[in-house]
Amino acid sequence: MSEKILVIGACGQIGSELTMKLREKYGNQNVIASDIREGNDELMNSGPFEFIDATDKASILMVIHKYGITTIYLMAAMLSATAEKQPKKAWDINMNTLLYILDFAKEKIISKIYWPSSIAVFGETTPRIDTPQQTILEPATVYGISKLAGERWCAYYHQKFGVDVRTLRYPGIISWKTPPGGGTTDYAVEIFHKALSDGKYECFLSAETTLPMMYMDDALKATLDVMDGPKFDTYIAYNVAAVSFNPKELTSEIQKHLPNFTISYKPDFRQKIADTWPQTINDSLARKEWSWKHEYETSDLVSVMLENLK
Ligand SMILES: NC(=O)c1ccc[n+]([C@@H]2O[C@H](COP(=O)([O-])OP(=O)(O)OC[C@H]3O[C@@H](n4cnc5c(N)ncnc54)[C@H](O)[C@@H]3O)[C@@H](O)[C@H]2O)c1
């Protein structure tokens, strides 16, 4: 049976580019985009689209039956900074929807799931440099708690019911096509827009706040790679890493292209979140087991961001 894919949360930062990549690979008509809101023209005009509220199990099921969906990419979520403002709602979106989808797979209504986790599963007690695959997981944010609980639910359904669910722990994702959705690493996208429009940027994290980051194309490649190939014997929410930098270092890279660009710092509540996250990630398991390799270094992503946003 050929794959019929449903992307839930297809209009977000990652979903909109992921959907286009999947359409390229599987054919436009085989990839159904869905969200509670409309996406950009490219997404809306290139293939099927359905309005779905991910917290409404019945409407997801209806779309699954309508198209004969085999695989779901569950990208709908409330991100770290937004979730802190609406903890219960964040839990509802981030958790209940995952459980619906896992149940659909358990009941063999669908056969495969992609569900992204995040470096937010780590916390203050985790080693912050070269953070290992297996380590202390004591997240301090609602978002991190939901990602950790989600990972454990995926492991449970995989082990107990044989559900094929695959997960990457994304770092901060940097892209230019769609704005970011309310995360703690969003500064590393905003900075490019402001550098070009205003020549200056006020950063909500401090100069020395180092965080792991990845350019969108690498994130998409990692996602497609982990979804290809046979089912894993054990569920692992893989660490994946590319680059790490702080706002000061990113500024220096941008100044190589825009020498007059200046940055100032006004840390807000997101600083506290960032302070509990790793600075660098050890992703040797992903590199060994499914040959994960990133392409974009910091200088590459700075060039490509400025080039495309110009
Ligand atoms: N962007 C990052 O840097 C990053 C890093 C780590 C993990 N992730 C994870 O990747 C996934 C996608 O992230 P993103 O950056 O694209 O997020 P985003 O906020 O840009 O997009 C999320 C999309 O989900 C939709 N959505 C929200 N509630 C919904 C609902 N009830 N029903 C249907 N759709 C709904 C939104 O409209 C939005 O289009 C999330 O699980 C996120 O936690 C992202």
- 147-176 per-position pLDDT tens digit: 999 999 999 999 999 999 999 999 999 999
User: Would the CB of 47 count as within 6 Å of ligand 1?
Assistant: no
At 270 the pLDDT is: 96
- Residue 185 CA: nearest ligand 1 atom is 3
Q: Is 12 in the pocket of ligand 1 (CB under 6 A)?
A: yes
Ligand 1 centroid to Cα of residue 223, in Å, is 15
160 lines ligand 1 (CB under 6 A): no
Amino acid, res. 171: P
Q: Is the pLDDT of residue 222 over 70?
A: yes
Task: Kindly state if the Cβ of 284 falls inside 6 Å of ligand 1.
Answer: no
The number of the ligand 1 atom at minimal distance from the alpha carbon of 80 is 43
How much is the pTM? 0.98
DSSP assignment of 218-249 equals HHHHHHHHHHSSSPPSS--EEE---EEE-HHH
Residue 271's pLDDT is 97
15 Cβ inside 6 Å of ligand 1: yes
Atom 26 in ligand 1: residue holding the nearest Cα: 76
What value does the mean pLDDT take over residues 80-96? 95
C-alpha of residue 12 to centroid of ligand 1, in Å: 5
pLDDT at res. 2: 85
238 is catalytic: no
Q: Is 55 in the pocket of ligand 1 (CB under 6 A)?
A: yes
How deeply is 300 buried, as exposed, middle or buried, from its count of CB atoms within 10 A (0-12, 13-18, 19+)?
middle
Closest CA to 9 of 28, 32, 34: 34
Local confidence band at 231 (pLDDT 50, 70, 90 cut-offs): very high
Minimum-distance ligand 1 atom for the alpha carbon of 10: 39
pLDDT at position 89 is 96
Residues 195 and 297 in one domain: yes
Whether residue 51 is found in the same domain as residue 187: no
Range of the structural domain that residue 300 is part of = 173-212+242-309
Query: Tell me, what's the pLDDT at 172?
Result: 97
142 and 229 in one domain? yes
Say whether both 35 and 141 belong to one domain. yes
**Residue 280: predicted pLDDT:** 98
Res 248 pLDDT > 70: yes
CATH code for position 201: 3.90.25.10
Flag whether pLDDT at 278 surpasses 90. Answer: yes
Total structural domains within the chain:
2
Whether the pLDDT of residue 1 is over 80: the answer is no
In the set 73, 100, 143, 170, the catalytic residue is 143
- Look over the chain and give the mean of its residue pLDDT values, rounded to a whole number: 97
pLDDT at 266 over 70: yes
Question: Domain check: are 90 and 120 in the same one?
Answer: yes
Cα atoms in the Cβ-side hemisphere of radius 13 Å centred on 219: 25
Which of 224, 239, 254 terminates a domain? The answer is 239
